[in-house]
Amino acid sequence: MRIANVLRSKGSVVATVTPDTSVANLIAEMAERSVGAVVVVHDGAVVGMVWERDFVRLMHQHGPSLVDAPVSEIMNGDVVSCVPADEVDAILRTMTERRIRHLPVVVDGDLIGIVSMGDLVKTRIDELETDQAHLQSYIASGS
């Protein structure tokens, strides 16, 4: 199965902010949308990501004054992304190896969606359950 299939079933809504957004507004965005990651975009291009776990570490290091800083000061600019044609299994492997829980989906530099580890695991479980049902039906039919 491909990432495009995952996006078709989950949708393509992505929480985004710009690099000059305040960290306080970033926190509000994450809380309102109940998300663990936000994509940072500038002129339509993905320039960074902020994950809740990274933010917590930075708050511990820098203290509450961090909420007044722009997102550009806390974002991770080394963004790994995928494309709709990528295979779910390959992306799961990449996410596991690199310890990434969210990946933006990009086409020709444009952000078109985001997939999480949870989205991909759910997709694989659904595939396995479908395969199991087909095999059980095949065995039961005696063919």
Domain extent, residue 17, equals 3-141
* CATH number reported for the structural domain that contains residue 80 in this entry: 3.10.580.10
38 or 109, greater pLDDT: 38
Q: What pLDDT, on a 0 to 100 scale, did the predictor assign at position 88?
A: 95
- CA dihedral (111, 72, 50, 103) in degrees, to 10, reads 30
pTM of the complete model: 0.84
CA–CA distance, 95 with 105 (Å, rounded to integer): 13
pLDDT digits (tens, 9 = 90+) for 61-73: 888 888 899 999 9
The amino acid that residue 82 corresponds to is C
**Number of domains into which the chain is organized:** 1
